A and B are shown apart, each in its own frame.
Chain A
Amino acid sequence: MNAALAWTKQWLIDWSIGWDRFWFSPAQPHTLATIRICCGAMLTYVHLIWLFAINDFLGADAWINLPTIRQLHADDWAWSWLFYVGNPTVLVIHEIVAVCAGVLMTLGLFTRVAIPLAWWLTLMVCHRLTGALFGLDQVVVMLTMYLMVARSGSVWSLDSKHRDAAAGSWLRPSSAAAISNNVATRLIQIHLCVIYLFGGLSKMRGQMWFEGSALWYTAVNYEYQSMDLTWLGHFPFLIATLTAVTIFWETFYCALVWSRLTRPLTLAMAVLVHGGIAIGLGMVTFGTIMIVANLAFISPSAMLNCGKKLKIG
């Protein structure tokens, strides 16, 4: 009995040490800075598109008009001030501010303010635009949310050029390794694992992913297609193999990505899958942002070395 208690106590202590090391080890900001730059550029692009289609999607007479969007969200917690705004001038100003926030985020200027502002404005737009959203919006909001926690603007940014002292300030924080950087990175990593796990598990509810034809039926979807991939049909073995590899990779990503031995292969597969989606299925934005999210598994030191080779900062 005493042995069992001692074992349990030691197990809890080990667990606590592991938790502490996993979440509360300081980390450098270079990986998150790279994600910030890409994510800011994507947000800028997304809001530019909304800006030029403002009446069709956000206006009083949009596809989903104001009374309808309020009714759709009457019983949930999704709320946006845009549920009550139909004035085109106000909406244009809203989107111009959102574009500016995206640009500031990319440049890393006033990053501490720009990232929360970009997240909030994008969140408001996303709730307003129920029905017109897809994976891109889910992932870009998720990444921006986590970047708010970190000091991603402390390197490779205009903020770092204008920082007065090495110790930094709240607005222009130091580039030293920080716990907040680690927490943000871990949250992105875990969120990605959840996305891939349920993406894989959900495919297991269908038959095509098992019998090997899913990739064919994805490739011949005319509405998605941006490149003719019907030649794949001449190689049924290749289609079935790629289908099987995709579902196994997606389901077991959450385990394989943590081991140093399998991480490079897992990330290379992510680039192939999402690159394929970007090029073949016409979802360049979604494919790109998923590759950007996968950068969370690249160590800051590796990213820093890359930056040095590219002579950044």
Chain B
Amino acid sequence: MSHPPTKSSVAHPLPARLSPRMKWIVSGAIAFHVLAVVAEPFQFFTRSQRGVSEASVPFRNLVAPYTEFAYLNHGYFFFAPEPGPSHLMQCELSFEDAEAARLRFPDKSAQWPRLLYHRHFMLAEFLHMMHVEPPPANPSPGLDPELMRPWREARQQFETVRNSMQDHLIKRYKARDARILRIEHRLPSSEEVLEAGMKLDDAQLYLSLPDSQSDALLPERQGSPSQESPGNGLSSSASGDES
């Protein structure tokens, strides 16, 4: 990209050119940085159920301290590999001196401006992403305990995050107890919307996700517990009616 000289570039002298040695140093830094920018999404791209590509590991390990600290460790999987369902948090609160209430995050009517709504949306997606179903209490005798360890650790991390969120709700709304359920909002097909007249927030599209596969996948519950506000500033919403 060569650009014609303009008034401002003519008016001032050009900066001193870089010495060859400095060019080598800057070139090395640029090469490392570009490697860092590529290594992270490359490893993310190669992820599968069997792990990641061995080709990505040495490069990614080399740049990990830099990319993780500088917040460059992203996969850039926007709406990929496919646009999927949204995930929400259904929060059930119980109080000492008021009826139970239910909140849903995110909630367009409660969180404004849009950026704040989107932050809550990302939290709900994060909790879903972290979810790992509980390992069996009594694993088969022949199962290697070392194989169970990562499973237990991932589950423990999910529970830590979920408990943190539940504690936040208890303190935020001065509740006695809080429980978060994960809700999946399925995306309707064009036939469902255009031919059957289904609305995008139709109750049928919301599914309560089980914590473990032994629990049934249930349509999201309606009505109970009470949807009334406990009267402490709680921006009560919601039930299955997302609007």
Taking beta carbons and an 8 Å cutoff, which residues of A are in contact with B? 19-20, 23-28, 45-46, 49, 52-53, 55-57, 61-65, 67-68, 71-72, 76-79, 123, 126-127, 129-138, 141-142, 145, 155, 166-168, 174-179, 183, 187, 190-191, 194-195, 198-199, 201-209, 213-214, 216-218, 220-226, 230, 233-234, 236, 282-285, 299-301, 304
B119 adjacent to chain A (CB < 8 Å): yes
* Nearest A-chain residue to B168, judged by Cβ: A63
14 pairs from A and B in contact (CB 8 Å cutoff):
A25-B2, A49-B115, A62-B168, A65-B168, A67-B164, A132-B123, A168-B12, A179-B15, A183-B26, A202-B44, A202-B81, A222-B201, A223-B185, A285-B118
For residue B151, CB closer than 8 A to chain A, the reply is no
Q: B114 contacts which of A78, A204, A226 (Cβ < 8 Å)?
A: A226
Interface residues on B, range: 35 or more
In the complex, what distance in Å separates the CA atom of A25 from the CA atom of B43? Answer: 33
- Residue pair A131, B122 in contact (C-beta under 8 Å): yes
Indicate if the CB atoms of B76 and A198 lie closer than 8 Å: yes
A residues in contact with B118, CB < 8 Å: 134, 282-283, 285
- Contact in complex: B114, A233 (CB < 8 Å): no
Point out the residue from A56, A155, A177, A204 that lies within 8 Å of B172, measured CB to CB.
A56
Q: How far in angstroms is the closest Cβ of chain B from A128?
A: 11
B8 & A155 in contact (Cβ 8 Å cutoff): yes
Stretch at the interface among B67-75, B133-141, B208-216: B67-75
CB distance from A22 to the nearest CB of B (A): 9
Partner of A208, one of B8, B27, B83, B185: B83
The residue of chain A having its C-beta at the shortest distance from the C-beta of B41 within the complex is A198
Q: Does B82 lie within 8 Å of A214, measured CB to CB?
A: yes
- Report the Cα distance A187→B35, complex, angstroms: 12
Within 8 A of A (CB), among B132-182: 157, 160-161, 163-165, 167-168, 171-172
Most buried by B among A79, A131, A191, A203: A131
Please measure, in the bound complex, the distance between the C-alpha atom of A214 and the C-alpha atom of B82, giving whole angstroms: 7
Is A176 a contact partner of B14 (Cβ separation < 8 A)?
yes
For chain A, what secondary structure do more than half of its interface residues adopt (helix, strand, loop), or is it mixed? helix
Q: Give a binary string over B21-44; 1 marks a CB under 8 Å from any A CB, 0 the rest.
A: 001001100100110011001101
* Cβ contact within 8 Å between A142 and B3: no
Q: Taking the complex as formed, is B219 at the interface, i.e. its CB lies under 8 A from any CB of chain A?
A: no
Given B13, B71, B75, which contacts A127 in the complex, CB threshold below 8 Å? B71
Q: Can you name the residue of chain A whose Cβ is closest to the Cβ of B64?
A: A77
- Which residue on B lies nearest to A215, using beta carbons? B83
Evaluate whether A230 and B194 lie within 8 angstroms (CB atoms) in the complex, with A65-B164, A78-B69, A167-B12 already known: yes
Q: Check B190–A216 contact: CB distance below 8 A.
A: yes
Q: How far is the CB of A256 from chain B (nearest CB, A)?
A: 15
Contacts of B69 in A (CB 8 A): 77-79
Residues in chain B near residue A26, CB distance under 8 A: 9, 14-15
A49 touches B37 (CB 8 A): no
- Asked whether, in the complex, the Cβ of A71 is within 8 Å of the Cβ of B122, the reply is no
**Neighbouring A residues of B9 by C-beta, 8 Å:** 26, 28, 176-177
- The reply to whether A202 and B75 contact each other, CB–CB distance below 8 Å, is yes
Query: What's the Cα separation between A145 and B117 when bound, in Å?
Result: 26
Contacts of B114 in A (CB 8 A): 226, 282-285
Whole-angstrom distance between the Cβ of B193 and the nearest chain A Cβ: 5
Task: Report if A141-B18 is in contact (Cβ < 8 Å); known contacts: A71-B157, A223-B88.
Answer: no
Closest-CB distance, B119 to chain A (whole angstroms) = 5
Contact B12 A220, beta carbon cutoff 8 Å: no
Contact B115–A285 (Cβ < 8 Å): yes
- Whether a CB of chain A sits under 8 angstroms from the CB of B200 is yes
Complex-state Cα separation, A49 to B188, whole angstroms: 32
**A residues in contact with B167, CB < 8 Å:** 61, 65
Complex interface: chain B residues within 8 A of A206 (CB): 80-82
A207–B172 Cα gap in the complex (Å)? 42
Bound Cα distance A203, B77 (Å) = 8
Question: 10 closest Cβ contacts across the A-B interface?
Answer: A206-B81, A206-B82, A176-B12, A131-B126, A202-B80, A77-B68, A205-B81, A198-B41, A223-B86, A233-B190
Known: A53-B116, A135-B78, A233-B193. 17 other contacts (CB 8 A): A20-B23, A28-B8, A65-B167, A77-B69, A78-B68, A179-B17, A198-B41, A202-B45, A202-B75, A203-B79, A206-B81, A206-B82, A209-B81, A218-B83, A221-B83, A222-B200, A299-B3
